Amino acid sequence: MSKNKDSNENLKGTLYLCLALGVIIVGVWAACFTLFMDRF
């Protein structure tokens, strides 16, 4: 039972890490896109 809970917590942490990474990537992409649009 406890092993399943640990696995579930680990998956939850992985999910949040992937979401945070996705948000960072989208933020950087949006910043670069805005800079590019300002140049031209």
Q: Is 1 helix (H, G, I), strand (E, B) or coil?
A: coil
Residue 29 one-letter amino acid:
W
Q: How far is CA 35 from CA 1, 13, 20, 40, in A?
A: 51, 33, 23, 9
pTM of the model: 0.64
Long-range contacts, stretch 9-17, CB < 8 angstroms, 24+ apart: none
Mean pLDDT, 10 residues at a time, the chain of 40 residues? 70 92 98 92
Domain locations along the chain: 1-40
Spatial distance between the Cα atoms of 35 and 32, rounded to a whole number of angstroms: 5
Spatial distance between the Cα atoms of 6 and 28, rounded to a whole number of angstroms: 33
- Look at residue 8 in the predicted model and tell me its pLDDT: 80
- Look at residue 29 in the predicted model and tell me its pLDDT: 98
